[in-house]
């Protein structure tokens, strides 16, 4: 009987394990020295025999010599043959805001209406999403939970991919407002010929005027403490320079207008989001010191006439012109685990591997305004990093063994790995 009861309890325990996400990360206590590691700092440099000290969730010291000698009482982890990378930052994403793409009840990233700068993704972020651990497994440790749709979609927040709840997971709340710049062209369907055509958007100018008016009114209201308008006052942060304005554009021409808009509105931290190609736009971005977040390399060219590898080559083209370039994964949130690889793909087409890594670590951190916290393996930053035996930008060798978010070691287990275990056991095959 006893045996049966214990069997049941084990079974129950098993069920519970299967149904739940892995436990939330536990803070590494005391001073810990990681030594003998190849450290990819994230800013382009690399330490071949690196040591890193972490304490209270922060990196306290990094060196290319053995720091374990300096701190004899600390815990020492020898990473011979292994590498340390900064945790990868994934901007512009709906991870945590939706669970199953086609099921509307699981979706919380698009509000109705066109002007919603007041809505916040922060409070909809689901730390218990089963997708999160699968993304974390490839080294993506930070996400920018981003709203979509309308003209002003809402406010994003930057979240650690670990935490008991959103309050616990947030790295930077309400970091910016998302503006979908209107498109000069739209698709139309010609009833006469039954073909799809690209047509000029006749309302383009009036839409721009509408946005300008909105910003103008927001500016006025921000000077009047008595006036209450949730939508308008949601812009206070970007107007004062405490948060970003993300301008999502669909092509070069719109980017030109969006840059001009940011300039006339005196936006302190505008970010252009989208692929830009023309020299004119690149020059404008450079002159105005505006960074750009570009979509994944895994895109088809816009048009048949374009360079077959235009998307692969774009990061190198923009970075070589001196722009600050970050990269986001523009496809489904559950595919974000490929962010390191799509960045790596650019290294096959003009970037160095170090530049490719910077794009999704320090560059993304700078663009999102969190480079004081994360983005590199440097003293003073949060201990958000991974340990891998291979190159985390290349799926061929990438093997992430451990991951730490703000000094807490997170488990790399996930639902998918457990399902695999279950059937490996069923068939009795080797792992």
Partner 1 sequence: MRKNYGLFLVLLSFWYSSLGQTTVPVNGVRDKRPEYSLFKNATLHVDSKTTITNGWILIKGDRILKVGKDFEFPKEAMIYDLAGKHVYPSFIDLDSDYGMPEIKRQRPTNFYDTQFNSQKEGAFSWNQALKPEVNASDIFKVDDKAASELRKIGFGVVVSHSKDGIARGTSALVSLASGSEKESLLKTQVAAHYSFEKGSSTQTYPVSLMGSVALLRQAIYDSKWYVAGGNSSERNLSLEAMAKNLSLPSIFHGKSLLDELRAEKIGKEFGLKFIQKSGGDEYRRIEEIKKLNSHIIGTVNFPKALDVEDPLDAERVSLEDLKHWEMAPANLAKLAENQINFSISTSDLPEKSTFLTNIQKAITHGLDKNQALEALTSSPAKALKIDDLVGSLKTGLFANFIISTEEIFDPKSKIVENWIQGKKYVINDLSLASINGKYEITLPQFNKVKLDVTGDNDKPSIEIVVNDSTKIKTTTVRDNNFLTINYKKSEKEPGTIRMSGLIDGNAIKGEGKDEKGSNFSWNAVKVSDAQKSKADSVKKQEKPVLGSNIFPFTAYGNTSIPIKEDLLIKNATVWTNEADGIIKTDVLVKNGKIDKVGANLSVPGVKIIDATGKHLTNGIIDEHSHIALFSINEVESVSSEVRQEDVLNSEDINIYRQLAGGVTTSQLLHGSADCIGGQSAIVKLKWGETPDNLIISNSPKFIKFALGENVKRGNAPQTPNRFPSTRMGVEQVFLDAFTRAKAYKAEWNAYNSAKIKTGLKAPKKDLELDALVEILDGNRNITCHSYVQSEINMLMKLADSLGFKVNTLTHILEGYKVADKMKARGIYGSTFSDWWAYKMEVKEAIPFNAAIMTKAGVMTAINSDDAEMARRLNQEAAKTVLYGGLTEEQAWKTVTLNPATMLHLGDRMGSIKAGKDADLVIWNDNPLSIYATPEKTIIEGAIYFDVEKENQKLTEINDEKNRLIQKLLQEKAKGTPTAKPQFRGRLQDIHCDSILEYDGVSIENLDAFLNENNHQH
DSSP-assigned letter for residue 183: P
**Contact pick of 28, 131, 169, 327 for partner 1 (by CB under 8 A):** 131
From 295, 189, 207, 190, select the one nearest 251 (Cα to Cα). Answer: 295
Which lies closer to partner 1 via its Cβ, residue 5 or residue 112?
112
89 φ, ψ (degrees, to nearest 5): -110, 125
Based on the shown chain and the rule CB under 8 A, indicate whether residue 105 belongs to the binding site for partner 1: no
Output the smallest distance, CB 356 to partner 1, in A.
Answer: 9
**Contact pick of 6, 65, 332, 352 for partner 1 (by CB under 8 A):** 332
Output the smallest distance, CB 304 to partner 1, in A.
Answer: 4
Interface mask toward partner 1 for 187-226; x: CB under 8 A: xxx-x--xxxxxxxxxx-----------------------
Residues touching partner 1, count (CB under 8 A): 65
d(CA 291, CA 271): 5
Rg over alpha carbons for the chain, rounded to the nearest Å, is 23
Output the smallest distance, CB 209 to partner 1, in A.
Answer: 16
Based on the shown chain and the rule CB under 8 A, indicate whether residue 341 belongs to the binding site for partner 1: yes
Which lies closer to partner 1 via its Cβ, residue 98 or residue 243?
98
Output the smallest distance, CB 331 to partner 1, in A.
Answer: 9
Which lies closer to partner 1 via its Cβ, residue 182 or residue 270?
182
d(CA 359, CA 324): 8
Based on the shown chain and the rule CB under 8 A, indicate whether residue 180 belongs to the binding site for partner 1: no
> By the 8 A CB rule, do 338 and 138 touch?
yes
> By the 8 A CB rule, do 58 and 13 touch?
no
DSSP-assigned letter for residue 120: B
Based on the shown chain and the rule CB under 8 A, indicate whether residue 416 belongs to the binding site for partner 1: yes
Based on the shown chain and the rule CB under 8 A, indicate whether residue 103 belongs to the binding site for partner 1: yes
**Contact pick of 75, 354, 395, 411 for partner 1 (by CB under 8 A):** 395
Which lies closer to partner 1 via its Cβ, residue 32 or residue 336?
336
Based on the shown chain and the rule CB under 8 A, indicate whether residue 186 belongs to the binding site for partner 1: yes
> Strand ranges (DSSP E) for 295-411?
325-327, 385-388, 400-405, 408-410
**Contact pick of 78, 224, 302, 401 for partner 1 (by CB under 8 A):** 302
> By the 8 A CB rule, do 87 and 383 touch?
no
Give the count of alpha carbons within 13 A of 43, CB side only. Answer: 8
**Contact pick of 210, 309, 389, 411 for partner 1 (by CB under 8 A):** 309
d(CA 265, CA 179): 14
- Quick one: tokens of 230? 């949730």
Which lies closer to partner 1 via its Cβ, residue 31 or residue 353?
353
From 151, 174, 148, 111, select the one nearest 261 (Cα to Cα). Answer: 151
DSSP-assigned letter for residue 8: H
Output the smallest distance, CB 26 to partner 1, in A.
Answer: 26
Based on the shown chain and the rule CB under 8 A, indicate whether residue 2 belongs to the binding site for partner 1: no
**Contact pick of 41, 82, 99, 171 for partner 1 (by CB under 8 A):** 99
> By the 8 A CB rule, do 119 and 88 touch?
no
| Environment class of 219 (CB within 10 Å of its CB; exposed 0-12, middle 13-18, buried 19+) | middle
Based on the shown chain and the rule CB under 8 A, indicate whether residue 345 belongs to the binding site for partner 1: yes
DSSP-assigned letter for residue 106: G
From 388, 385, 392, select the one nearest 407 (Cα to Cα). Answer: 385
Based on the shown chain and the rule CB under 8 A, indicate whether residue 3 belongs to the binding site for partner 1: no
- Reduced to 3 states (helix: H, G, I; strand: E, B; else coil), residue 292 is strand
Output the smallest distance, CB 66 to partner 1, in A.
Answer: 32
Based on the shown chain and the rule CB under 8 A, indicate whether residue 348 belongs to the binding site for partner 1: yes
Based on the shown chain and the rule CB under 8 A, indicate whether residue 299 belongs to the binding site for partner 1: yes
- Reduced to 3 states (helix: H, G, I; strand: E, B; else coil), residue 286 is helix
Which lies closer to partner 1 via its Cβ, residue 103 or residue 112?
103
Q: Which residues bind partner 1 (CB under 8 A)?
A: 99-103, 131, 185-189, 191, 194-203, 252-253, 278, 298-309, 332-335, 337-338, 341, 344-345, 347-349, 393-396, 398-399, 416-417, 419-420, 423-424, 427, 429-431
């Amino acid at each position: 009987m006893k045996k049966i009861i214990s069997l049941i309890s084990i079974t129950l325990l098993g069920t519970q394990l299967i149904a739940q996400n892995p436990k939330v990360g536990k803070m590494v206590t005391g001073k810990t020295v990681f030594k003998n590691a190849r450290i990819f700092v994230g800013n382009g440099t690399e330490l071949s025999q690196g040591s890193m000290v972490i304490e209270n969730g922060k990196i306290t010291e990094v060196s290319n010599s053995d720091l374990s000698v300096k701190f004899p009482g600390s815990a020492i982890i020898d990473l011979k043959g292994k590498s340390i990378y900064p945790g990868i930052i994934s901007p512009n994403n709906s991870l945590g805001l939706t669970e199953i793409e086609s099921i509307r009840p699981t979706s919380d990233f698009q509000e109705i209406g066109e002007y919603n700068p007041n809505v916040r993704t922060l409070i909809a972020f689901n730390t218990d999403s089963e997708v999160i651990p699968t993304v974390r497994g490839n080294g993506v440790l930070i996400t920018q939970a981003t709203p979509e749709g309308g003209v002003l979609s809402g406010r994003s927040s930057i979240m650690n991919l670990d935490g008991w709840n959103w309050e616990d997971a947030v790295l930077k709340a309400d970091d910016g407002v998302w503006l979908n710049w209107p498109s000069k062209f739209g698709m139309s369907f010609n009833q006469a010929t039954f073909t799809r055509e690209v047509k000029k958007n006749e309302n383009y100018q009036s839409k721009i005027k509408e946005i300008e008016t909105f910003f103008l009114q927001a500016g006025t209201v921000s000077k009047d403490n008595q006036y209450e308008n949730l939508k308008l006052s949601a812009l206070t942060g970007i107007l004062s320079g405490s948060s970003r304005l993300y301008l999502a554009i669909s092509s070069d021409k719109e980017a030109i207008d969006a840059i001009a808009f940011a300039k006339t509105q005196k936006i302190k931290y505008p970010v252009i989001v989208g692929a830009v190609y023309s020299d004119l736009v690149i020059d404008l971005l450079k002159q105005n010191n505006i960074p750009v977040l570009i979509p994944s390399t895994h895109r088809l060219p816009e048009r048949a006439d374009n360079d077959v590898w235009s998307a692969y080559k774009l990061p190198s083209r923009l970075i070589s012109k001196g722009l600050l370039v970050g990269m986001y994964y523009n496809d489904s949130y559950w595919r974000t685990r490929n962010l390191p690889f799509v960045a790596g793909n650019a290294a096959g087409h003009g970037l160095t591997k170090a530049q490719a890594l910077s794009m999704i670590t320090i560059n993304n951190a700078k663009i999102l305004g969190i480079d004081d916290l994360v983005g590199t393996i440097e003293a003073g930053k949060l201990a958000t990093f991974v340990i891998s035996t291979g190159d985390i930008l290349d799926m061929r060798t990438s093997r992430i063994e451990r991951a730490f978010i703000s000094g807490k070691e997170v488990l790399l287990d996930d639902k998918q790995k457990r399902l695999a275990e279950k059937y490996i056991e069923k068939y009795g095959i080797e792992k």
